């Protein structure tokens, strides 16, 4: 048993792809046309960190209720945890690309950590080795 995908509600597919693939270095696994249950066009967009099993389904907000959730899927808490082997290099890459960090890097018992915002405004932990 495993979790294959987690959905992340975004306001725009292409901006989200640019962030996750262009900035974070994720792989674009799928980007295919699809349709909603009532026939409206949408896309099936999956991104995944290189070598990871679990990916993100980038789901464009559909309707007012979903648009209100963009950037607030975890009610202000960190909702995703991105573990990298080279924390300093990834932090510099992200910082250079204009990613907004809410905390400076710090060292905890479990490793290095800094909180950042994704393209939608959700909080993530960037985690590295201790």
> Quick one: average pLDDT of 83-110?
97
Query: What is the model's pLDDT at position 94?
Result: 98
101 pLDDT above the threshold of 90:
yes
What torsion do the CA atoms of 61, 64, 68, 74 make, to the nearest 10 degrees? -60
Tell me the domain boundaries of the chain.
1-70, 72-130
Given this chain, do its domains 1-70 and 72-130 carry the same CATH topology?
A: yes
DSSP state of 22: I
pTM listed for this prediction = 0.93
Query: What is the model's pLDDT at position 109?
Result: 95
Alpha helices (runs of H) in 25-119, residue ranges in sequence order: 64-69, 87-96
- CB count in 10 Å sphere of residue 78: 14
Closest CA to 67 of 7, 5, 120, 6: 120
Work out whether strand 111-117 and strand 106-108 pair parallel, antiparallel, or are unpaired: antiparallel
The two structure tokens encoding residue 120: 């939608």
According to DSSP, the residues that pair with 107 across neighbouring strands are 112
Under CATH, which architecture does the 1-70 domain have?
A: Roll (3.10)
- Topology of the domain comprising 72-130: 2,3-Dihydroxybiphenyl 1,2-Dioxygenase; domain 1 (3.10.180)
What band does 37 get if pLDDT is binned at 50, 70 and 90? confident
């Amino acid at each position: 048993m495993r979790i294959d995908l987690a959905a992340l509600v975004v306001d725009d597919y292409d901006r989200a792809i640019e962030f996750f693939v262009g900035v974070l270095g994720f792989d674009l696994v799928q980007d295919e046309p699809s349709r909603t249950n009532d026939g409206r066009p949408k896309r099936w967009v999956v991104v995944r960190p290189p070598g990871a099993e679990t990916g993100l389904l980038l789901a464009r907000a559909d309707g007012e209720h979903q648009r209100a959730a963009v950037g607030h899927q975890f009610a202000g808490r960190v909702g995703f945890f991105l573990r990298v082997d080279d924390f300093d290099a990834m932090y510099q890459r992200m910082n250079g690309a204009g990613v907004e960090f809410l905390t400076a890097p710090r060292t905890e018992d479990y490793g290095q950590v800094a909180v950042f915002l994704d393209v939608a405004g959700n909080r993530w932990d960037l985690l590295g080795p201790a």
